[in-house]
Amino acid sequence: MAGFPFTIAATDGKARTGVLATPRGEIRTPAFMPVGTAGTVKALTVDQVAATGADILLGNTYHLMLRPTAERVKRLGGLHRFMRWEKPILTDSGGFQVMSLSKISKVTEESVTFQSHIDGSRHALSPERSMEIQADLLGSDIVMQLDELVALPAPPERAADAMRRSARWGQRSKNAFGERDVQNLFGIQQGGLDPALRRESADRLREIGFDGYAIGGLAVGEGHQAMCEALDFAPAMLPVERPRYLMGVGKPIDIVEAVYRGVDMFDCVLPTRSGRHGQAWTWEGPVNLKNARFAEDDAPLDPSSDVPASRDYSKAYLHHLVKAEEILGQVLLSWHNLAFFQALMAEMRAAIAAGTMEAFRTAFAARQRPSGPGTSA
Amino acid sequence: MAGFPFTIAATDGKARTGVLATPRGEIRTPAFMPVGTAGTVKALTVDQVAATGADILLGNTYHLMLRPTAERVKRLGGLHRFMRWEKPILTDSGGFQVMSLSKISKVTEESVTFQSHIDGSRHALSPERSMEIQADLLGSDIVMQLDELVALPAPPERAADAMRRSARWGQRSKNAFGERDVQNLFGIQQGGLDPALRRESADRLREIGFDGYAIGGLAVGEGHQAMCEALDFAPAMLPVERPRYLMGVGKPIDIVEAVYRGVDMFDCVLPTRSGRHGQAWTWEGPVNLKNARFAEDDAPLDPSSDVPASRDYSKAYLHHLVKAEEILGQVLLSWHNLAFFQALMAEMRAAIAAGTMEAFRTAFAARQRPSGPGTSA
């Protein structure tokens, strides 16, 4: 497999910045992918999402296969056309949500069988079915192998079993995906926090050969420090010439530490989910707009932004909308947060190109006050 | 009082089309005013509202005086600046919501005292206080007198009492409002369905002298037919040279019949409220997007529209969003409905100018199927 052309324009320590060139457009890395769970980045139009500078969205196979169903999306022209997003889309395999949202009936070597959290209907997800849904029915640009992951901390044997099953499912995913010109398939490294397991996983993935490599099984309860320790060794085990994607991460401080350690791609529901709950992310850390100190604060969240949500509306107005439980408050804060995450990625791309990533990282950590006044997690 | 320049460019039967020129921009009549209840047209940014062609918004004095309070809006630069809407705003007097939403403590000749539906706090609204809130604190362009209205059907004596109190409150509103260059004050005709009471009310308002005249106390339970009968005589009792505003109306068919009878301005929560409940208004009548017949309908609601909500997204996608209870469904349908209402007004303005309002009205009524398949009120 060759994969989409991936050009690393500059490196700075372990950090890299470049471009992954897909037929639907360029993805500037390090990249943050907003999550369009069920065919929508929650509360936002695609034009609003595009205005934040997002180059690629993530879609959730689990949600889409249950509703409106992958077959219906296919009949309606594929996921891009269905949701009116013309730039690249990466879909996850469905495995994570099966294990976190549904009632699992059974995990076997063949597949995961589970009950829908929506209507209780029974479904099976195998590597082959995941490939069919992602690549053939939804029409994703970047397809993820099916993997099995475990919550951390996990017994070593459990982590090893899941890693080895993920590798076997990786091979089956590859076989089912085949060779494609305009779609890529990413493998997923597992192995928990154990360097030996992460090494074995990376070696297996490399033997199979993927277009890109994800780091899976982190940000599942191990905490920021343990995650950073795993990122001290995990990314370097993956092929240097292909994109590395840290799945489901995360808070801005997590993303900065991961970029510093050589990760290229990220996704997380945090900006939209926290926006729906009245929280805004800023260079000084998260703030809760419900806090009374914003009641007469006439300044916008970011007057230098190009995005109306950040630039045009005062914190006093956002405070009012949050207090009154107005939908517009959810819209504007989701929009602002996505714009902030994209601005963060742009700043890091510039810092890596300028050779100042170490200084950026130090300054960023010093400015963020995760437990300052008016904040909440 | 002179009032904002009001130019009637064409008449067609009783119907009129023209322009009410305010310092903040021209209002093309007949005009529909989206309702920005608590400082927001629910679910939409001001840019989205402006894109529908709305020339003026309505703000609710009752909601704003309770939260964030009119005094806070004043400290933050007035309602236009607070909500980032630079075009004209009309505010209601607060009386209607006091009577429909709060627990009323007492209605006296002096004022209405009531309890907030939000926190139970006690407040009083007099004609003088309503003028202070609307004109001085919120900074409304068009201020409505405080009136008293009764649900229909009402005993004749009750309707007469409310009409006469409204006239006395109209005089007090005028006295408190005084003479202003850049703000207008509208009086409100009451009198239920009785021509003699409507005549007496109109005569009293004319003696007081207002910048515009509203028809109040309709669309409060009397039904379409009774409303049309009242509109056969009520508008003509009001000064022909000033704008006539039918408060709280309504369904497209109500608006068409009222324009046909000489009304110039309208407001209603219907487009946004029904949009939040999955309903779209179309030239063929209302349709409920939740209906399974839209599940694979790849056509947008209105491909000829300039508004993305109407033009870019398929009914199948909207169906999915409504079924999945996604916020974006509420956003897009609210946006589409406001665009439809503005398109309806534009069509009527053109029909009046062309002398074809009678034909437009007949054709419109024939196309609307209020109880067709998949509809709901």
Residue pLDDT, tens place only, A274-326: 999 999 999 999 999 999 999 999 999 999 999 999 999 999 999 999 999 99
Give the confidence band of A376 by pLDDT, cuts at 50, 70, 90: very low
By C-alpha distance, the chain A residue nearest B314 is: A82
Asked if residue B324 and residue B196 are part of one domain, the reply reads no
CATH number at residue B67: 3.20.20.105
For A292-301, the pLDDT digits (tens) are 999 999 999 9
- pLDDT reported for residue A221: 86
User: What is the per-residue pLDDT across A317-355, written as a single tens digit (0 to 9) for each?
Assistant: 999 999 999 999 999 999 999 999 999 999 999 999 999
How far is it, in rounded angstroms, from Cα A368 to Cα A233? Answer: 25
A105 at B interface, C-beta within 8 A: no
List A residues 204-243 in contact with B (Cβ-Cβ < 8 A): none
Do B163 and B281 reside in the same domain of the chain?
no
Flag whether B335 is in a domain: yes
Query: Does residue B103 lie within any of the structural domains?
Result: no
Chain A residue numbers with beta carbons less than 8 Å from the beta carbon of B77 are: 298
Whether B204 and B142 share a structural domain: yes
**Could you give the CA distance from residue A57 to residue A86 in angstroms, rounded to a whole number?**
10
A372 found inside a domain? no
The chain-wide mean pLDDT, for chain A, equals 95
Is B92 considered catalytic here?
yes
Centre a 10 Å sphere on the Cβ of residue A47 and count the other Cβ atoms it contains.
Answer: 11
Query: How many structural domains comprise chain A?
Result: 2
Same domain, B83 and B200: yes
Question: Are A67 and B324 an interchain contact pair (Cβ–Cβ within 8 Å)?
Answer: yes
Q: β-pairing, B122-125 with B112-115?
A: antiparallel
Q: Which residues of A touch B325 (CB under 8 A)?
A: none
Do both A208 and A98 map to the same domain? yes
Domain final residue, candidates A244, A268, A292: A268
Instruction: Clarify whether residues A195 and A330 are in a common domain.
Output: no
Look at residue A375 and tell me if it is in a domain.
Answer: no
* Secondary structure element (H or E) that encloses residue A255, with its range: helix A252-260
CA distances from A266 to A41, A256, A257, A353, B346 (A): 15, 11, 12, 19, 47
- What is the band of A364 on the pLDDT scale with cuts at 50, 70, 90? very high
* A309 lies in some domain: yes
Does B120 fall in a domain? no
Task: Indicate yes or no: CB of A327 within 8 angstroms of CB of B326.
Answer: no
pLDDT at A184 over 90: yes
**pLDDT level of residue A153 (50, 70, 90 thresholds):** confident
What phi, psi does A57 have (nearest 5°)?
A: -110, 160
Between the two ends of chain B, the Cα-to-Cα distance in Å is: 42
Q: Choosing from B92, B141, B147, B264, which is the catalytic residue? A: B92
Domain presence at residue A273: no
Query: Is residue B338, in this structure, part of any structural domain at all?
Result: yes
Statement: residue A371 has pLDDT above 80: no
Q: Is B267 a catalytic residue?
A: yes
In angstroms, the separation between the Cα of residue A20 and the nearest Cα of chain B is 28
Q: Among A268, A291, A323, where does a domain finish?
A: A268
Q: In what order do the strands lie in the sheet with B6-12?
A: B6-12, B15-22, B25-29
Coil, helix or strand at residue A65: helix
B45 and A298: CB-CB below 8 Å?
Answer: no
**CA separation for the pair A229, A240 (Å, rounded):** 19
Of the residues B76, B289, B311, the best mutation for testing chain A's interface (the one with the most A CB atoms within 10 Å of its CB) is B76
Portion 292-351 of B in contact with A at CB < 8 A: 295-296, 298, 308-309, 312-314, 316-317, 319-321, 323-324, 326-328, 330-332
The per-residue pLDDT for A315 is: 98
Domain boundary at A214, A240, A268, which? A268
- The answer on pLDDT for A370 being more than 70 is no
- Same domain? For B346 and B199 the reply is no
Question: Interface pTM (ipTM) of the complex?
Answer: 0.96
- Please say whether the beta carbons of B318 and B275 come within 8 A: no
The conformational region for residue A84 under phi > 0 = left, psi -120 to 50 = alpha, else beta, is left
pLDDT score at B1: 52
Q: Which residue of A has its CA nearest to B292?
A: A68
Model confidence, pTM:
0.97
- Note the pLDDT of residue A113: 94
Query: Average of pLDDT values for A231-247?
Result: 98
Going by pLDDT thresholds of 50, 70 and 90, the confidence category of residue A2 is confident
pLDDT reported for residue B374:
39
Query: A41, A42, A45, A117: best mutation site toward chain B, by most B Cβ within 10 Å?
Result: A45
CA distance A84 to B313: 7
How many Cα atoms sit within 13 Å of B88 on the Cβ side?
24
| Claim to verify: residue A218 and residue A253 sit in the same structural domain | yes
Question: Tokens at residue B79, please?
Answer: 């309602």
pLDDT of residue A149: 82
Whether A326 sits inside 8 A of B75 (CB atoms) is no
Residue range A86-141, pLDDT digits in tens: 999 999 999 999 988 888 778 999 999 999 999 999 999 999 999 999 999 999 99
B235 and B280 inside one domain: no
Q: Inform me whether the C-beta atom of residue A165 falls under 8 Å from chain B C-beta atoms.
A: no
User: Of all helices (H) and strands (E), which one includes residue A315?
Assistant: helix A315-323
My answer on whether B82 and B35 are in the same domain is yes
Same domain, B258 and B317: no
pLDDT at residue number B150: 83
- Catalytic: which of A12, A92, A141, A211? A92
**High-pLDDT (> 70) share of chain A, %:** 98
Q: Residue by residue, what is the 3-state secondary structure of chain B?
A: CCCCCEEEEEEECCEEEEEEEECCEEEEECEEEEEECCCCCCCCCHHHHHHCCCCCEEECHHHHHHCCCHHHHHHCCCHHHHHCCCCCEEECCCHHHHHHHCEEEEECCCCEEEECCCCCCEEEECHHHHHHHHHHHHCCCEEECCCCCCCCCCCHHHHHHHHHHHHHHHHHHHHHHCCCCCCEEEEEECCCCCHHHHHHHHHHHHHHCCCEEEECCCCCCCCHHHHHHHHHHCHHHCCCCCCEEECCCCCHHHHHHHHHCCCCEEEECHHHHHHHCCEEEECCEEEECCCHHHCCCCCECCCCCCCHHHHCCEHHHHHHHHHCCCHHHHHHHHHHHHHHHHHHHHHHHHHHHHCCHHHHHHHHHHHCCCCCCCCCC
Per-residue tens of pLDDT for chain B, all 377 residues:
589 999 999 999 999 999 999 999 999 999 999 999 999 999 999 999 999 999 999 999 999 999 999 999 999 999 999 999 999 999 999 999 998 888 877 899 999 999 999 999 999 999 999 999 999 999 999 999 999 988 778 888 999 999 999 999 999 999 999 999 999 999 999 999 999 999 999 999 999 999 999 999 998 889 999 999 999 999 999 999 999 999 999 999 999 999 999 999 999 999 999 999 999 999 999 999 999 999 999 999 999 999 999 999 999 999 999 999 999 999 999 999 999 999 999 999 999 999 999 999 999 999 987 554 433 33
Tokens matching residue A345: 């990625």
Residues 6 or more apart whose CB falls under 8 angstroms from that of B41 comprise: B34, B35, B49, B57, B272, B334, B338
pLDDT, residue A151, reads 79
Range of the domain at A252: 6-268
Domain shared by B199 and B251, yes or no: yes
**How many residue pairs from chains A and B have C-beta atoms closer than 8 A?**
107
Q: How many CB atoms lie within 10 A of CB A14?
A: 16
